Amino acid sequence: MATSVSATCFKFGCSANQVFNTSQISRGVKLVSMGWGRSTAGFPSLRTFRLRVAAAKAETVERVINIVRKQLALPPDTKVSPESTFNKDLGADSLDTVEIVMALEEEFGIAVEEENSENIVTVQDAADLIEKLVEKK
């Protein structure tokens, strides 16, 4: 779940024309991008930034990682983290992704709607969605 936020300033100790790249602020909250600059008309402008809030418990993330390892038959030395993307980092194709979602549904006793499954890009995305669906049960 990614949330886009615009604001005048959150007290991150920032100054004008300073840009932050992806960095971990605290457990569960990641600053994706943030910065200030000048518009073409010379007026100060605030660039938007997005905060990513990771709601899933570590136990849920670990269970998702184990299922992904099993479904993709990954070697034990393959690094799988919450930030791992299914396609780019783990080499999953669309059929693999469908099978992973089906295994997650079975493991957690949930039903993932197609529009929700299209938003799953990383292991953390999957874990966050699972937590959300389990809470609704």
* Per-residue pLDDT tens digits for 80-135: 999 999 999 999 999 999 999 999 999 999 999 999 999 999 999 999 999 999 99
The residue range of the domain holding 71 is 58-136
Enzyme catalytic residues: 93
- Residue 115 belongs to a domain: yes
- Residue 14 belongs to a domain: no
In DSSP notation, 68-133 reads HHHHHT--TTS---TT-BTTTTT---HHHHHHHHHHHHHHHT----HHHHTT--BHHHHHHHHHHH
* Per-residue pLDDT tens digits for 62-71: 999 999 999 9
CATH number of residue 127's parent domain: 1.10.1200.10
pTM of model > 0.85: no
Per the CB < 8 A criterion, the answer to whether 3 and 50 are in contact is yes
Please report, as a single letter, which amino acid is at residue 119. N
Task: State residue 137's pLDDT score.
Answer: 79
